[in-house]
Structure formats: structure tokens, C-alpha cells
Structure 1
Amino acid sequence: MSNPAVSVSLAVACALMAGLAHAHDGAHTGGIQTQPSSAVKAPYDIVHSKITTEGNVAVFHMHVAGKAGALKPAKTGQLAGSAVFSYVWPTTIDPSAVGFEAKSGILAFAVTSHPDFDDTPLFPAPLGAWHSHWVVLSPDEACGKGALKVVDIPPGNKPKLPKTWPGLPILIDSPGWVPQFKGGTLEVRVPFDDIGVVNAANFDGVTAALKLNASVHSPLLCVVDVFKVASGDLSLPGKVNQ
């Protein structure tokens, strides 16, 4: 004869497991789904990227084949030529939505690590720690054929900038939103004054390395190695909340 208490316990356990499986599946549904690639290092091998909104908060989500954030650039001991590793969500959101000049380039949200310099003066963190940025990107052949850079601020120019601009001569913001890593998943929650601009946006997912120009002048920060693009062609096919 079966024990009723054991049967109930088994039923509860099965229900919990089913609920957890459903929650896990839901976390990685929608957005841009990508097949893993043996040619990409697992911590940067994007398999899923999406942006959703909850009230006035945008949730930037990326899942990779390995452990997210496990691989960081090596320290060089100098600013010039140093590397930046990044998880990036390029978007169709106008840069003015976060405090830059309107139509100044491609607005992207990025989570980065770089052990050779500090660009978060308002939110101090150990060098090399993962942290978040808004950046404005544009093509520049000086970075390589078809390559992107973070838009430079020419000497003497005073463009519109976010209040948390870190003082570098490029269109970058250091707002202090803390990235959360768990296994293969990276998420960042970012509040917006006007969440409507996010809800209407398209996006992509990218993992890449950037490098500071060896002579530390324009272009200051170039994308030098794209590890993976979720869409395969940077067409920004992702739709927020889908």
C-alpha cells in the first residue's frame, strides 16, 4: 500500500520542478534566439538576447553558452592600447532619450570590463569589475573597414551630455546600473523617464572587444574584435517585449 504522505510530497516536488522549468523556459523565450558556435569562446557565445520592460524599468537580458562574465581582458598596466570586453545591446532608441545630442549615432547599452582605467568616477568600483554604460556608436574607417567606434568629442566641442558622463572625450555615460550575472545569464535593470521610447525600439545583441587607441586620440575607442552578433548581421531585428 502506498504512503499518502509520500505521494503528496512527490506531487508537490513534481509541481515545483515543473514550475521552475516553466520559469526557466520563460526567461529565455522571445527576443533573438541564436545557435551556439564552437568558433566563439563560450562566455561570449550568445544564444539568447532580449529587452523587456516592467513599469518604467527596461530589463536587458543576455544568455551565453558558457558562464557569463567569466572571461576578462588581461591587464596591461597602461591606458594606451588597453582592451575592453563587452556585452552590448545596440538599439534604435534615439541618444537624446538618455541625455546625449539627438541623432548623434547608434545608442547602445553595454556591460564592460577593463582592468587598466576607471570610467565610473561617480560610482567607484574595483578596476576590472563589470559595470554598465550607455555609448553612442558610429562607423569609422580609422578603426578598420566597416568597424564602429564610440563617437569622439572633438576638442572645443560641448555637446549635450548625460549628468553621469565620466569626463572622457567620447559619447559615453556611466549611470551606475549594476549588472547581475548568474550562470550563463546576464541581466541589468535600467529605469527610464519615458519607457515608451524603449517599448517602441528594436535591438540586437553583440559581444565584442574594444581597444583604446595606442596614441590616445580620435578615434579614442574602437570596436576591434566582434565575438558574436545575435542576428548575424547587426540588423537589429529584436523587438522589445516580443
Structure 2
Amino acid sequence: MAHEPGGINSAKGQSDAAFDLVHTHIYREGDNLVFQQVVAGTAGSSTPKSTGKFAGSDVYSYVWPTSLGSDAVGFEAKSGILALALTSHPDFDDTPQLDENNDGKKDNDGGLWHSHWVVLTKEASCGPSGLKVRDIPEGMKPKMPATWPGVPLYIDSPGYGLNVGKDTVTIQVPLAAVGFPDNFKYDGVTAGLKVNADLHDPLLCVSSVWDVASGDLSLPGTWNAKEKP
């Protein structure tokens, strides 16, 4: 597809074409920041198989790690790497305020692609990636965004507009939601995550990294605000 100038171009690799990144970008469109990833195959065509249970289940994701502070969207400050993610996970629903499939139920939509802010931190027990979605220890009550789904993780379910079609995924993030940042750096990742079978810290590991736009997670992409609306 014809994409906006700038961003991070990536060579085609050996991963599943649905997660083989060729272009990653964040650009402004009106009062929104558009988080975009272009892949070599059909975007969103691969989703996890349902296991019928939460423990041990899989999450597939398109992720934009950023240099934004975790407090930019309402988490406790200096909590880890703030990333926007587009995810699918048919075995659980973590968007309790939303009814994505419009069937009158808000607890059966996890398999549909949807957006999350997450805070990533290092975790050696998570394997080669060394990353997890940060846990909330029992008894702790850190600051969370208003649309936090109530799970013991640094995760937000903002319900942003999104598009998944042909070779491209996008999420439309209101500039106001991230405090009209002057600039920040970003990267692109496609990855699988897995819920711990024992349901304890770490609850959600980055289990497989399929592609990294920069190749080394160096966050080479830069978004600079030319003007504030």
C-alpha cells in the first residue's frame, strides 16, 4: 500500500507473513495519532486457537513500544516501557466496558482485534524475550487509567478506533489521550504472549517475538509535533 512518508522500513523476513513487518509508522491525522503497521501478508489473518480456558492461553499482538512515560496515559509514573498493542485472544475478554461484536454482551469479544496500552518490564523467567506485562502484586494499588479492566496487570482498555485490512493495521489515538506530546520515539513489534498456566507472577509473558521493525528494539522512529491543535 502507499503509506505516509517517514517511519521505519523493514526487510521481509521468515516469520508468518501476517506478522512480517515491512513498515511501521506513527503519524498525525487531524486530532489523532495513527499507529500503523504494514506487513508482508494479510494483516490480522492469524489469531490464536481457543483452548477453552484462561490459564495457558495465547495472545497475538501487533505492538508499538514507545519512549512515552507510563504516566502519559494514566499509569503510575516510571513503571516501565509504555506500548500500544493490538491484540486477539479468544479465551478471555479484557474490555469489560466494550461490546465489540454488538451482541449485547461485554464478556465474549476477546478474539476480536482490540487495543490496549500496556507497560512492559524485564522478566528473566519469560524466556528469550525477557519481557512481561507488568504485574500488580496482591495488596498493591498503583495508579491506573480510568479504563483499566480490573485485572492484576498494568493494562488499559481504551477502546480506540482501529482498522485491520489487507496488509495494514492502524489504531487511532486521540492526541488528547497522550497529553499532546511534543515528540517521542517508537518501534514496531509483532509477538505472541502467553498467560502463565499457574496464574501467578509473571501472569502474562511475551513468549514469542516474531518480528521487530528496527531489528534491535532501538526505537529509531520519531514523532515530532509541528504544532499543537
Contact 1:44–1:66, Cα closer than 8 Å, also in 2: yes
Indicate yes or no: 2:208 matched with 1:225.
yes
Aligned-partner Cα distance in 2 for 1:170–1:238? 27
Q: Where does 1:193-208 land on structure 2 (aligned, <5 Å)?
A: 193=176, 195-197=179-181, 199-208=182-191
**For residues 241 and 40 of structure 1, do their structure 2 counterparts lie closer, same or farther at Cα, with a shift above 3 Å needed?**
farther
Indicate yes or no: 2:29 matched with 1:46.
no
Aligned to 2:104: none
Aligned-partner Cα distance in 2 for 1:145–1:65? 24
Is the partner of 2:152 in helix, strand or coil?
coil
Aligned to 1:31: 7
Aligned to 1:85: 60
**For residues 40 and 95 of structure 1, do their structure 2 counterparts lie closer, same or farther at Cα, with a shift above 3 Å needed?**
same
Aligned to 2:99: 124
| Cα distance per residue 1:175-233 (max 9 Å; x no partner) | 01132012101111111325532x41000000000000000111100000000000000
| Cα distance per residue 1:103-122 (max 9 Å; x no partner) | 10000000000000010000
Q: Which has the higher helix share?
A: 1
TM-score by length of 1: 0.86
Indicate yes or no: 2:48 matched with 1:73.
yes
Indicate the larger mover: 27-36 or 129-138. Answer: 27-36
Of 109, 116, 121, the match for 1:133 = 116
Letter in 1 for 2:5: T
Shift of 1:29: 2.8
Shift of 1:62: 0.5
Aligned to 2:106: none
Following TM superposition, where does structure 1 have runs of at least 4 consecutive aligned residues deviating by more than 6 angstroms?
A: none
Is the partner of 2:26 in helix, strand or coil?
strand
Aligned to 1:234: 217
Q: Which sections of structure 2, spanning at least 5 residues, go unmatched? A: 101-108
Letter in 1 for 2:223: V
Contact 1:53–1:241, Cα closer than 8 Å, also in 2: no
| Cα distance per residue 1:46-72 (max 9 Å; x no partner) | 000010123431110110000100000
Aligned to 1:20: none
Question: Taking every aligned residue pair, what percent have the same amino acid on both sides?
Answer: 53
| Cα distance per residue 1:41-95 (max 9 Å; x no partner) | 1100000001012343111011000010000010000111000000000000001
Of 145, 148, 153, the match for 1:170 = 153
Contact 2:75–2:144, Cα closer than 8 Å, also in 1: yes
Aligned to 1:150: 133
Contact 1:57–1:190, Cα closer than 8 Å, also in 2: yes
Aligned to 1:96: 71
Of 81, 84, 92, the match for 1:109 = 84
Shift of 1:30: 1.1
Structure label with greater radius of gyration: 1
Contact 1:51–1:241, Cα closer than 8 Å, also in 2: no
Q: Which sections of structure 1, spanning at least 5 residues, go unmatched? A: 1-23
Contact 1:51–1:58, Cα closer than 8 Å, also in 2: yes
Of 131, 136, 144, the match for 1:161 = 144
Letter in 2 for 1:64: V
Shift of 1:145: 4.5
